[in-house]
Amino acid sequence: MARGATIKLDVFRCRPEDERGTFRSYDVPYREHWVVLDALNWIKDYMDGTLSYRWSCRMGVCGSCGMMINGQPALSCAVFLKSYYPNSIRVEPLSYFPVDRDLMIDLEGFLAKLKSIKPWIIHEDEKPLEAGEYLQTPGELAAFKQYSMCINCMLCYAACPVVGAEEDFLGPAVIALAQRYNLDSRDQGAEERSVAIDADEGIWGCTFVGECTEVCPKQVDPAGAIQRAKVASAKNWYSKLLPWGER
């Protein structure tokens, strides 16, 4: 590699008043240890301070730096420039979301869907504080722990064709998080969440393409969570038809 080598980033630029964004090319220093986020930070620091994007931890934990990188949803803090060099890199905001500015997407729709499944522990009867903690066995923790690893990066939404076709679809991360609470031995809110989860825009909207699981950086397996939720919903519906079923 020649001293002073560079790599080109074609970055999506869009302002709130724009109906359609455009791409701008930047030649940035090439470093083998740099990730795409490092290159974006270099652009903002030394070339164009108006470039807008989100990032926080730089360690694949916060989930805020998700972008489309050469057409694939990814955390920009986890994708190395050396994976593309000497070719150029195309950087865009996550697919299927409204764009606020440049690489920043509008989160309001996602947050509303997240709230709709009540992502918190629900108890019918709270025990007094003096009664102590709600204890769990290692097996009870293991039942839902995988689904608790979601960092809300929304890569799964950008990879899901149903999200692109159906605006009201709850989406992989939201349904997986609902499963996280429904499978928690301390929770009693599954019936309340079923109003949103069992609807057409919930689990039954999923066509099981599976791309959400492929792009998940934390191996949450949202596709598997949705299929488990479908099985649980079908069993619950069928049990109510039986003479001894719940009425």
pLDDT of residue 2: 58
Query: Helix (H, G, I), strand (E, B), or coil: what is residue 189?
Result: coil
pLDDT of residue 244: 65
In this structure, which amino acid lies at residue 202? Answer: G
Contact 24, 11 (CB under 8 A): yes
- Which residues of the chain carry a pLDDT beneath 50? 247
The count of C-alpha atoms lying within 13 angstroms of the C-alpha of 153, restricted to the half-sphere facing its C-beta, is 34
Paired with 27 in beta bridges are: 8
From the list 23, 29, 35, the residue with the least C-alpha distance to 8 is 29
Residue 201 DSSP one-character state: T
Distance CA 176, CA 161 (A): 17
Domains in the chain, ordered, with CATH?
6-105 (3.10.20.30), 108-239 (1.10.1060.10)
pLDDT in tens, 52-77: 999 999 999 999 999 999 999 999 99
Q: Where does the chain have alpha helices with state H?
A: 36-46, 108-116, 138-145, 155-159, 161-165, 172-182, 190-197, 211-215, 222-239
pLDDT of residue 246: 55
Do you know the residue count of the chain? Answer: 247
| Triad 170, 184, 239: Cα angle to 5° | 75
Question: 19: Cβ–Cβ under 8 A, 6 or more apart, which residues?
Answer: none
Is residue 183 packed enough to be buried (19+ CB in 10 Å), middle (13-18) or exposed (0-12)? Answer: buried
Is residue 221 packed enough to be buried (19+ CB in 10 Å), middle (13-18) or exposed (0-12)? Answer: buried
pLDDT of residue 125: 83
